[in-house]
Amino acid sequence: METYRAHCLILPFPIQSHINPMLQFAKRLQQEGTKITIVTTNFLFKTLNEVSGSISVGSETLTELILKLQDLGCPVDCIIYDSLLPWCLDVAKDLGVRAGVLFTQSCAVNSIYYHVHKGLLKLPLEESEVDIPGLPPLLASDLPSFVGKQGRIHRDWVSKLVLHDQLEKFEEADWIFFNTFYRLEEEVNGWMAKILLVKTIGPTIPSMYLEKRLEDDKQYGLNLFKPMINACISWLNERSISSVVYVAFGSLEDLDRIRIKEAKDFVDETFDKGLIISWCPQLEVLADKSIGCFITHCGWNSTLEALSLGVPMIAMPQ
């Protein structure tokens, strides 16, 4: 008799920094015997030529998909959804399907958003210093940009999604997953675990850069942007050990005119010393012996990758 395999739908938010940890979590679940189906938006589906077992769906058709899979003899046992897709929880509860929510950012950031949402941290800020349990004293300039520079909140749909919608019902989920590991954020993780059923699942990077349990797991499996792999790695192969400073500011950086001008001047001044490309395979770059330092925008995926690979960082939070 064949052993029953639980069937899990995976729903990532369609930007690179959210796709990567969700796909890595899916791989680990699959390794443990879970049947995985990736469920995407129509936009992302067109890019999923590297990922098998994917289905395109929108919020209005997720219910239809789950019911159809049940009719086909492939019932859905649970869904794991990105916290920025909070409507997935409503669909799961309506159909009696268990649901887990994955927060792709750090526990520290999750805690700050939680305090704002619960009214424990009131905006605009009245004090110059903020105290959050499990975190060191923070200045207004230390807080995530969605909370607002100098205590002013950005009132747009993105801020509403981050500070309100993703936290509105998340406590009703069967599981709450954080893309971090306990020892990295021990105090704030401990505080949140007292009030929520939090499970840390990070760092969510390919296995061959960590414990090497999955021999074929060398890449995330999906790039929304085409990496210039050959040009990048060939150039690094010609550099000496720890001689390269790697600079990257993520997939969502919005440069102002001054910084664009600075970047152009930098290109002109360093054309015979450096290499500038539109997108690179970051894990392969960070793992290269030529890399001596990483100047980063402090995106959480980049931070976890550099920590996991032991690469020194110069932080320029964006």
Q: Which of 96-100, 246-250, 290-294 has the lowest mean pLDDT?
A: 246-250
Does the pLDDT value for residue 232 go beyond 80?
A: yes
As for how many domains the chain has, the answer is: 2
Does the active-site annotation cover 18? yes
* Residue 68 resides in a domain: yes
Residue 144 domain-assigned?
no
Per-residue pLDDT at 316 exceeds 60: yes
Q: Looking at the structure, tell me whether residues 233 and 199 fall in a common domain.
A: no
Number of H helices, E strands in the chain: 11, 12
Q: What is the structure's pLDDT at 229?
A: 87
**Exactly one of 7, 71, 77, 82 is catalytic; which is it?**
82
Q: 75 with 180, same domain? A: yes
pLDDT above 90: residue 22: yes
Q: What percent of the chain has pLDDT over 90?
A: 61
Distance CA 267, CA 220 (A): 30
CA distance 134 to 114: 13
Task: Assess whether 185 and 240 both reside in one domain.
Answer: no
Question: Which one has a higher pLDDT value, 148 or 222?
Answer: 222
Residues 40 and 187 both lie in one domain: yes
* Residue 2 confidence (pLDDT): 67
Mean pLDDT of 161-183: 95
State the residue range of the domain holding 89.
7-104+169-207
Q: In the prediction, which pLDDT does 58 show? A: 60
**Same domain as 269, residue 176:** no
187 pLDDT band, cuts 50/70/90, is very high
Q: What pLDDT does 228 receive?
A: 85
- Residue 136: is the preceding peptide bond cis (ω within 30°)? no
Residues 202 and 238 in one domain: no
- Quick one: 92 and 194 in the same domain? yes
Q: Is residue 99 part of a domain?
A: yes
- More confident of the two residues 279 and 289: 289
* pLDDT value of residue 254: 60
Percent of the chain with pLDDT over 70: 86
Q: What is the pLDDT of residue 92?
A: 96
Phi, psi dihedral angles at 221 (to 5 degrees): 110, -5
Distance of CA 66 to the CA centre of its chain: 25
- CATH number, residue 232: 3.40.50.2000
Same domain, 287 and 200: no
Contact between residue 292 and residue 284 where contact means Cβ atoms under 8 Å apart: no
E strand or H helix that includes residue 93: helix 87-95
State which of 123-137, 157-171, 181-195 shows the largest mean pLDDT: 181-195
What integer is the mean pLDDT of 297-304? 94
Do 88 and 237 belong together in one domain? no
Residue 240 lies in a domain: yes
Active-site residue, selected from the candidate residues 18, 165, 217, 288: 18
Q: Indicate if 64 and 187 belong to the same structural domain.
A: yes
- pLDDT mean over 260-280: 77
Per-residue model confidence as pLDDT tens digits over 122-162: 888 888 889 999 999 999 888 988 886 544 444 577 888 88
Q: What is the pLDDT at residue 153?
A: 46
294 and 201 within one domain: no
Any catalytic annotation for residue 82?
Answer: yes
pLDDT at 56: 57
Measured CA to CA in angstroms, residue 207 lies from 24, 141, 169, 178, 202 at distances of 9, 35, 32, 18, 11
Same structural domain for residues 99 and 240?
no
